[in-house]
Structure 1
Amino acid sequence: MSAPGAWVPGILVAGAAALAAFAVHLVAPAVPMLTSAVVLGVVVAQIPALRRRVDGVLKPGLALAARRLLRIGIVLLGLKLSLGDIVGLGWATIGMIVLIVLLTFLATLGLGRRLRLPGTQPILIAAGFSICGASAIGAVSAVTRGKGEDAATAVALVTLCGTLAIAVLPVLSVPLGMSPEEFGLWVGLSVHDVGQVVATAQIAGPAALAAAVVVKLTRVLTLAPMVAAVSLLQRRTDRRSAPGPEERGPGAPEPGRRPAIVPLFVLGFAAAVLVRSFLLPLVGGGASGVGSGAASVVLEAADVLQTALFGLALFALGTGIRFAQLARTGWRALAVGLASWALIAVLSLAAVELLA
């Protein structure tokens, strides 16, 4: 068990890295802050002198950032979602979003297992590419109790492919003859992290950005039922694989505590969605909704805090990447990530055509 206060050095370093990532974003707005944060973490982990500190004095704080702070950020992410905005999309669009999430998740999971990716990498990559990038990876990792490097690999892949999307999708939209609204729908359906969605959609203007954000946040809403389903499957797997009393033998420890069917932070996420949908409009005042008054201040503060927490957490996850370890299975993980990215882009493009 870590000594009291042992987490302070790691948190301070992660905070400094998040500030550096924000500075990069200010200089180059097309580069999302969270992408810079995870890249900084990966770079630090490859420098021998710094890696010794990452695995030593900084380890407790980085572990705290990668788990607890990430979960708090996920709860605050719920404040971005309004049930009214989601219903406004129409049931055809909502159904298409759910279908694309399911198809991408199952196909990516199947391919990852077929290529024999180690540990929990298949399910974490599937969650990241189908739902909402790093936040989904962190949420699913919390209930599967996977290794930190598995989550770091998945985060690195969604960061790579999401960054490629910022450059590739706007170029492809020109020969496809997409309107700004159609392009925004495509981006919201196919790009992973919220920051990457904003960076990609804003290239086509405010109409594309508005459509992309609403669709993307509706995808985020599938995080809660997906994590609950994964947690339930994990409980069943633990129950089947746990040895009975006879097999454990006298004096052997009891099996570890199974994960909750619905983790507390997922319940917090759902509660935040309800607060945004029903409570904050009352605070904001009448028809103006949450666009003014105290509610607006709350949402802006929550957005800043959520971004900061994700910045710390993604830097911490990035420090778990070791290129030497990835050399053994890296090409397989990269193949799964690129295939999943191509699949969700194609499915989303087909959905745009059908909905148009």
Structure 2
Amino acid sequence: MSKNLFFGGLIVAASGLLSPPLALVAGLTYGFTFEHPYHLDARKLSRLLLQVSVVGLGFGMNLQQVLRVGRSGLIYTAAGITFAMLLGWGLGKLLAVKSRVSFLISAGTAICGGSAIAAVAPVTHATDEEIAVSLGTVFALNSVALLAFPAIGAALHLTQTQFGLWSALAIHDTSSVVGAAAKYGVVALAVGTTVKLARALWIVPMSVGTALIEKKKAKIQWPWFILFFCLASVANTYVPVFQNAYPVLRHLGILGLTVTLFLIGTGISKRTLREVGARPLLQGIMLWVVVATGSLALIRAGWIHL
């Protein structure tokens, strides 16, 4: 029975019927309930599929538009990411969160949620448990933001430009930024999506920098998939002859990430989560609250603007 349920869940995840967060929940439900029949094989597949999926997501980026917005906010974007990473490191130390989990949560909060975690996790040699905890934390907060942000924006009478900018800076994943901004208005959607994609470019220096640091500790496996992620975004921008294929490839990247999350979830048991504890979630919440409230205050004061 457990084998049938495993393959059934795998098929449903690959079909696109489940969102990435739901796929993770489905995988965790399986992992809590059954003994995994293919634990080692699923772990190997999930790591490879995670990297391939990151490459697929690159086909959704238009470099010209993203770089134009990125240049206008280069200083406060760099400052914001640096602040979030340092604060995340400090909170992780304070709460005694394992260093790799703390780093993944901080990177996901600072840059672009699950995509950033997916990119830097292989570079840090994070375990499936560490990846699952980090992604679970980010996706839980994403769900809260998707529901709460439009209501907060309306209550504070934010303009559409302000709301789009705030969503891009304070919501983890691009998909949730799109969802929240779309509820607020067309302008908010355009601003939020573009700024978030510009922020996502920081995946590259973050991954390369992490690789250089990790090299001091062990023989490094260079993040080849980051190079292909960049090439995919270049192709999407400058090679229009294949423009009909790019949305398909991006969609395959999303499906790959969904399947990966299901596989990772199936490998997590009650025992492994008990070993991790609630501290990573607390770190993620505290870091996110500071980033969200701080960016909102700076946007309303006019310090951060387009």
Please say whether Structure 1 and Structure 2 have the same fold, judged by a TM-score greater than 0.5: yes
Contact preservation (8 Å) 1:9, 1:57: no
- What is the rounded CA distance, in whole Å, between the counterparts of 1:9 and 1:63 in structure 2? 18
- What is the rounded CA distance, in whole Å, between the counterparts of 2:280 and 2:185 in structure 1? 34
**1:107, distance to aligned residue in structure 2 (A):** 1.1
**1:80, distance to aligned residue in structure 2 (A):** 1.7
Structure 2: gaps spanning 5 or more residues: none
- What is the rounded CA distance, in whole Å, between the counterparts of 2:71 and 2:115 in structure 1? 25
Aligned mate of 1:108, from 88, 108, 119: 88
**Structure 1 position 224 matched with structure 2 position 235:** no
Alignment of 1:194-213 (within 5 A): 194-213=174-193
What secondary structure does 1:177 align onto?
coil
Q: Percent identity?
A: 27
What code does the residue aligned with 1:148 have? D
Name the CA shift for 1:46/1:139 in 2 (closer, same or farther; >3 Å).
same
Alignment of 1:88-127 (within 5 A): 88-89=68-69, 91-118=71-98, 120-127=100-107
**1:66, distance to aligned residue in structure 2 (A):** 2.1
Structure 1: gaps spanning 5 or more residues: 1-7, 25-32, 239-257, 284-293
**Structure 1 position 131 matched with structure 2 position 91:** no
User: What corresponds to 1:57 in structure 2?
Assistant: 38
- What is the rounded CA distance, in whole Å, between the counterparts of 2:156 and 2:129 in structure 1? 39
Alignment of 1:208-287 (within 5 A): 208-238=188-218, 258-260=219-221, 262-280=222-240, 283=241
- What is the rounded CA distance, in whole Å, between the counterparts of 1:119 and 1:147 in structure 2? 12
Higher relative contact order structure (alpha carbons within 8 Å, sequence separation ≥ 6)? 2
Contact preservation (8 Å) 2:53, 2:257: yes
Alignment of 1:301-340 (within 5 A): 301-340=248-287
TM-score relative to the length of structure 2: 0.90
Contact preservation (8 Å) 1:162, 1:192: yes
**Partner deviation per Cα, 1:219-238 (whole Å, 9 max, x = no partner):** 11100110111111111133
- What is the rounded CA distance, in whole Å, between the counterparts of 1:98 and 1:350 in structure 2? 18
Name the CA shift for 1:58/1:324 in 2 (closer, same or farther; >3 Å).
closer
Alignment of 1:157-172 (within 5 A): 157-172=137-152
What code does the residue aligned with 2:133 have? T
Contact preservation (8 Å) 1:189, 1:348: yes
More deviation, 201-210/215-224: 201-210
- What is the rounded CA distance, in whole Å, between the counterparts of 2:6 and 2:74 in structure 1? 39
More deviation, 83-92/164-173: 83-92
- What is the rounded CA distance, in whole Å, between the counterparts of 1:304 and 1:171 in structure 2? 30
**1:272, distance to aligned residue in structure 2 (A):** 1.4
**Structure 1 position 182 matched with structure 2 position 162:** yes
**Structure 1 position 84 matched with structure 2 position 53:** no
**Partner deviation per Cα, 1:272-296 (whole Å, 9 max, x = no partner):** 122222223xx2xxxxxxxxxx41x
**1:300, distance to aligned residue in structure 2 (A):** 1.8
- What is the rounded CA distance, in whole Å, between the counterparts of 2:279 and 2:17 in structure 1? 34
Name the CA shift for 1:318/1:198 in 2 (closer, same or farther; >3 Å).
farther
User: What corresponds to 1:147 in structure 2?
Assistant: 127
User: What corresponds to 1:27 in structure 2?
Assistant: none
- What is the rounded CA distance, in whole Å, between the counterparts of 2:245 and 2:298 in structure 1? 35
User: What corresponds to 2:27 in structure 1?
Assistant: 41
Contact preservation (8 Å) 1:78, 1:269: yes
**1:119, distance to aligned residue in structure 2 (A):** 5.2
- What is the rounded CA distance, in whole Å, between the counterparts of 2:252 and 2:299 in structure 1? 33
What code does the residue aligned with 1:98 have? A
**1:114, distance to aligned residue in structure 2 (A):** 2.7
What code does the residue aligned with 1:116 have? A
Contact preservation (8 Å) 2:39, 2:267: no
Which of structures 1 and 2 has the bigger CA Rg?
1
What code does the residue aligned with 1:355 have? I
Name the CA shift for 1:19/1:263 in 2 (closer, same or farther; >3 Å).
closer
Contact preservation (8 Å) 2:88, 2:283: yes
TM-score relative to the length of structure 1: 0.78
Contact preservation (8 Å) 2:129, 2:272: no
Contact preservation (8 Å) 1:109, 1:125: no
Contact preservation (8 Å) 2:20, 2:257: yes
**Structure 1 position 191 matched with structure 2 position 136:** no
RMSD: 2.3
**Partner deviation per Cα, 1:16-68 (whole Å, 9 max, x = no partner):** 24157x435xxxxxxxx111111111211111xx2x1x2x33541x2244211
Name the CA shift for 1:110/1:319 in 2 (closer, same or farther; >3 Å).
farther
**Partner deviation per Cα, 1:45-104 (whole Å, 9 max, x = no partner):** 111xx2x1x2x33541x2244211111111121222222112332634233222212211
User: What corresponds to 1:253 in structure 2?
Assistant: none
Contact preservation (8 Å) 1:117, 1:332: yes
Name the CA shift for 1:90/1:140 in 2 (closer, same or farther; >3 Å).
closer
Contact preservation (8 Å) 1:34, 1:310: yes
- What is the rounded CA distance, in whole Å, between the counterparts of 1:343 and 1:132 in structure 2? 16
